[in-house]
Amino acid sequence: MADSVRLALSKLVSDPRPPKPKFDRIEDRIEYLHWLGEMSDRLQRRLKDKQTRIEFLETVWYESTRAGLDPAMVLGLIQVESAFRKYATSIVGARGYMQVMPFWARVIGDRDAQKLFQMQSNLRYGCAILRMYIDMEAGNLYLALGRYNGSRGRPDYPNAVLANWKNWQYKR
């Protein structure tokens, strides 16, 4: 990985800003609150505790929009990767909601792979890494999702994420 890419990703994951949105227009805040309510209802059977669910959705929205990603796509990816389980661990060692590999903590983080089980850290890493892959693939989501999963060129994973993305789209 080029030093410039490593530095940019490192800066993204180390930014300590809390996941609280700020809006210039009241209409945008109202739209966000409607989104938050609808997504909370949809996610209720997967995350029972309301406070946990709201914090999770606030963080998904913050980190995905911060990385220039659609929150619905990130929710679809999380559904496929971990089924919304904070402590999910894959057979190859990927961790948390977005199944981030521990080597990323060494490459762009502070070397503490345990942070990948923390909600904000996991979502921040996952969104930053996915954004990097989308940029590497010149916007081709199919190829970028394959890179994210380590299955580039095989259809099952990208197709699953794209199908689940539709389930999380917000209808105004």
At the topology level, CATH places domain 3-167 in Lysozyme (1.10.530)
- Say what the pLDDT of residue 149 is: 93
- Say what the pLDDT of residue 12 is: 61
Q: What is the dihedral of CA 137, 132, 159, 80, to 10 degrees?
A: 170
Three-class SS of residue 100?
strand
Q: pLDDT tens digit string along 53-90?
A: 999 999 999 999 999 999 999 999 999 999 999 999 99
pLDDT above 90: residue 109: no
CB 97 within 8 A of CB 88: yes
Q: pLDDT tens digit string along 27-50?
A: 999 999 999 999 999 999 999 999
Distance CA 155, CA 172 (A): 30
In angstroms, the first-to-last Cα distance of the chain is 40
- Say what the pLDDT of residue 14 is: 63
Tokens of 141: 């989501």
pTM of the prediction? 0.89
Q: What is the dihedral of CA 93, 95, 101, 103, to 10 degrees?
A: -90
- Give the chain's mean pLDDT: 90
CB 97 within 8 A of CB 78: yes
